Amino acid sequence: MKDKQVIFWLRSGIVMIMIMITIGGITRLTGSGLSITEWKVVGGTIPPITDAEWQVAFEKYQKTPEFILENSDMKIEGFKTIFFWEYIHRLWGRIMGFVFFIPYLYFWKKGYFKANGLNRKMFLVLILGGLQGALGWFMVASGLVDQPDVSHYRLTAHLLMALLLISYLFWLIYEVKMVAGATEKKTHHPLNFLLKNTLGIIILQLVYGGFMSGKKAAYAYPTYPDMAGKMIPDDLWHEGGLSNLSENVTTIHFIHRLLPWIIAVLLIYIVVKLRKIPADFLRLKGNVILIFCLLALQITLGIKTVLLDEGRISAFWGTSHQVVGVSFFLAIWWLYLSLTRVPKGKLAE
């Protein structure tokens, strides 16, 4: 019974992080991320209520590069709109802190984490959650000094930390199942190498998704499949050398378009190999179907996002693209975990 409670808690955390990623995408694409200029861990829970409080918050925003350079004509009503999403983003983070911390204390006191070093592993969830919050502010702070945009490096790091945390929760679910005796670890699987490398390439694709967002690279080439009328665009490589890979908008955009097709080829090859292991293929067929559905949806959403709506990226399509991208990675991560941690009694099959 206790393992079911812990697994429910971990799954609740996964759902909450996915909601947080969704809110983060909306916050980014509605231009709301720099509307709150301070990081108050406790005091920031309550938003401005009176007109005077709203005026103080707005005056702080008026001193930021974003207001001075891009939103100088914004009135306080417009400020309230962008403030809303950033406030919800931070509030949800605080709620998540309670959802992770309070059940952890309860389970720890009940002695649920004594076996297999679970207490140390579970406590790391709290550490990662705290680091994610700090990294979020570190990202926002980069857009409050001398430029109206956050650093695309910090933005990407913030996304990757969320990915690390949610992946870790998936892994912990299997750790709990092993302690409960429901699963056994398979030390080697023929597809381990392929799956690990595919996961690495997908992480690289998500990195370039962060670069795309931070550098606003979609605006440079709002067509598909060509880029400015060419399949291989000009300006792909400037004199900056390797810095092109993370600074050149054309290079970033080109790599982000190319990687999904490499991933698709790798996945087809993985499925061909998996079909030669009937027991695993039949057990995980649903997972494989989900992976290909998510891949097709992700590519479609990516194309739709690039084809700008009225000259701008749609918050709906852009956020959907980000959420499905993370879901796609997690589906393959789950496939890897499912191949290396099998139901008890299946190792001999």
% of the chain surpassing 90 pLDDT: 77
Buried b (16+ CB within 10 A) or exposed e, 319-337: bbbbbbbbbbbbbbbbbbb
Tell whether the model's pLDDT for residue 62 goes beyond 60: yes
| 161 and 308 fall within a common domain | no
Range of the domain at 88: 1-181
| 162 and 260 fall within a common domain | no
pLDDT for the residue numbered 29: 92
Tell whether the model's pLDDT for residue 344 goes beyond 90: no
Tell whether the model's pLDDT for residue 261 goes beyond 90: yes
pLDDT for the residue numbered 1: 53
Considering its fold, how many domains does the chain have in total?
Answer: 2
Tokens 């969704």, residue? 22
Tell whether the model's pLDDT for residue 324 goes beyond 80: yes
Whose CA is closest to 6, among 172, 152, 125? 172
Question: When comparing pLDDT for 266 and 112, which is higher?
Answer: 266
Cα separation, 312 vs 160, whole angstroms: 25
Q: What is the pLDDT of residues 184-232, one digit of tens each?
A: 887 788 999 999 999 999 999 999 999 999 999 999 999 999 998 999 9
| 152 and 189 fall within a common domain | no
The answer to whether the peptide bond before residue 148 is cis (omega within 30 degrees of 0) is: no
Domain final residue pick, 135, 165, 181: 181
| 35 and 60 fall within a common domain | yes
How far the first Cα of the chain sits from its last, in Å, is: 28
Domain final residue pick, 150, 181, 212: 181
| 59 and 160 fall within a common domain | yes
| 47 and 195 fall within a common domain | no
Q: What is the pLDDT of residues 42-53, one digit of tens each?
A: 667 888 999 999
Confidence bin at 323 (pLDDT 50/70/90):
very high
| 108 and 244 fall within a common domain | no
pLDDT for the residue numbered 223: 92
| 165 and 190 fall within a common domain | no
Confidence bin at 348 (pLDDT 50/70/90):
very low
pLDDT for the residue numbered 93: 92
Question: When comparing pLDDT for 117 and 85, which is higher?
Answer: 85
Whose CA is closest to 17, among 234, 170, 139? 170
Tell whether the model's pLDDT for residue 164 goes beyond 60: yes
| 216 and 280 fall within a common domain | yes
Type of residue at 104: Y
Alpha-carbon 240 to chain mean position: 29
**The whole model's pTM is what?**
0.92
Cα separation, 137 vs 157, whole angstroms: 12
Q: 273: which residues sit within 8 A by CB, 6+ positions away?
A: 190, 191, 194
| 158 and 65 fall within a common domain | yes
3-state secondary structure of 183: strand
Q: Is residue 97 within 8 Å of residue 41, measured between CB atoms?
A: no
Cα separation, 89 vs 42, whole angstroms: 15
% of the chain surpassing 70 pLDDT: 97
Q: Which two tokens stand for residue 98?
A: 């309670």
Mean pLDDT, rounded, of the chain: 91
| 173 and 213 fall within a common domain | no
Mean pLDDT, rounded, for 329-338:
95
Type of residue at 123: F
Measured from the Cβ of residue 181, the count of other Cβ atoms closer than 10 Å reads: 9
| 19 and 143 fall within a common domain | yes
pLDDT for the residue numbered 349: 46
Q: What is the pLDDT of residues 283-318, one digit of tens each?
A: 999 999 999 999 999 999 999 999 987 778 999 999
Mean pLDDT, rounded, for 35-39:
89
Cα separation, 165 vs 145, whole angstroms: 29
Domain final residue pick, 152, 181, 210: 181
pLDDT for the residue numbered 72: 92
